[in-house]
Amino acid sequence: MFNTNRRQFLAGTSALAGLSFLSLAGCSKNNDAIRIGFMLPYTGTYAKLGMAIENGFKLALSELGDSPFGKTIEFFTVDDESNPAKATDNANKIMTRDNVDVVIGTVHSGVAMGMIKVARETGSLVIIPNAGANAATGAMCASNVFRTSFSNWQPTHPLGRIMVEQGHRRSVFVTWKYGAGEEALASFREGFEAAGGEVIKELFVPFPNVEFQAILTEIASLKPDAVACFFAGGGAVKFVKDYAAAGLKSSIPLYGSGFLTEGVLEAQGESAEGITTTLHYADGLQNAKNLAFRKAYRAAYSEEADVYAVQGYDAGLLLIKALQETSGDLSLKAEAISAMEGAEIDSPRGSWIMSRAHNPIQNFYTVRVENGINNVVGTAWEGLEDPASGCDL
């Protein structure tokens, strides 16, 4: 389901109120326009994540007013379906056919790797608003590729130590079997073992399957002290509910990277209560920027913001740095890149800076679900920087 022919203009007195879809024939480039492409999942288990990113991004841009730098903004979208097999084609469509000035994408690590390969050929500016593939800001890093979210190494790096501190030494790790889950597991193992823990079993389900019965039965018979996991979006809802329904919640505490309970708490209900995670954001962060952001997001979209909305919003703030430096002319690529490299982002997650490899250096929080809210119960790691192995930027 592709929407690449839809162009969306920011116009009128309020950027958000003025959003309307216009279909135009042809793709000729209008120099009075800033062309922005979204390559995101709009269908499948990560559909809600894609929409939150787009919403957050547009909220940031709306802060620029009606016609930033005297220009209109045109939006192009492609539904990448979280399907790595279609990533190269989709990236080519948006970068080459639609010829956008910048691509905001994507959520799924495997799709992101395909995008990056194309971006390294086309030189297109890319801002990754979620996908954590370590190589994106590691061995495959590139001057034109930036990330406003995290590397998969980051969120689970502090998790093992926290579990040991809470008295759990024998753990099972459960995940979808693809890049993001495997990298989250590797990082968890590193931290957990360093703290004296032992991963007694790794359990996998293929992405995006949600048939968890077999692994829940296995967990019950293994009787670990705790379970750690990586799931997100629709899959996270199902896993958390199935875990509770299997009667495991009270005897074997559930942990994970914070994606497990982000944007899905309402759907998970009671089954999520007490889950502890580590993440660079939590709904309950009590700083002025987060409170204002959540209020503005609620007013604009009648929904609660989550980490994906924040990452999209921060992608917008990062792009604004580039637009300010170039007076809205992103063809001045060197200037745009240098502005983004030096960026300090005043984010709802707390302010963060861009690493040499173009990944956020940021705080990670210990988060616990209490009364239907992701509450911050501590700082798990201050100013955590991804090792960026193999990046020679």
Q: Given the rule CB under 6 A, which residues bind ligand PHB? A: 107-109, 130-133, 152, 180, 232, 259
Closest approach of Cβ 283 to ligand PHB, in Å? 15
35 versus 280: smaller Cβ distance to ligand PHB = 280
CB 242 within 8 A of CB 231: no
Closest approach of Cβ 1 to ligand PHB, in Å? 20
Closest approach of Cβ 237 to ligand PHB, in Å? 12
CB 254 within 8 A of CB 223: no
Residues 67, 214: Cα–Cα separation, whole Å: 55
Please, where are the H alpha helices in the chain? 47-62, 87-92, 109-122, 153-156, 159-165, 179-194, 213-222, 233-245, 265-268, 288-301, 307-326, 333-341
Closest approach of Cβ 296 to ligand PHB, in Å? 23
Q: Which of 368, 392, 376, 361 is nearest to 157 (CA)?
A: 361
Residue showing tokens 């929407």: 3
CB 14 within 8 A of CB 61: no
Q: Which two tokens stand for residue 135?
A: 């190589």
DSSP code, position 102: E
Q: Which two tokens stand for residue 22?
A: 């216009």
Helix, strand, coil percentages (3-state) for the chain, rounded to 5, are 40, 25, 35
Residues 215, 67: Cα–Cα separation, whole Å: 53
Residue type at 222 in one-letter notation: L
Closest approach of Cβ 113 to ligand PHB, in Å? 10
**Gap between the terminal Cα atoms of the chain:** 36
DSSP code, position 39: E
Closest approach of Cβ 351 to ligand PHB, in Å? 22
CB 66 within 8 A of CB 13: yes
| Strand 276-279 with 2-9, pairing | unpaired
Q: Which residues contact 3 (CB under 8 A, 6 or more apart)?
A: 42, 77, 78, 79
Q: What is the DSSP string of 184-245?
A: HHHHHHHHHHHTT-EEEEEEEE-TT----HHHHHHHHHH--SEEEEE--HHHHHHHHHHHHH
Closest approach of Cβ 33 to ligand PHB, in Å? 31
Q: Give the torsion sign (CA, 11, 16, 18, 20).
A: positive
Closest approach of Cβ 183 to ligand PHB, in Å? 8
Closest approach of Cβ 11 to ligand PHB, in Å? 33
Closest approach of Cβ 158 to ligand PHB, in Å? 16
15 versus 232: smaller Cβ distance to ligand PHB = 232
47 versus 131: smaller Cβ distance to ligand PHB = 131
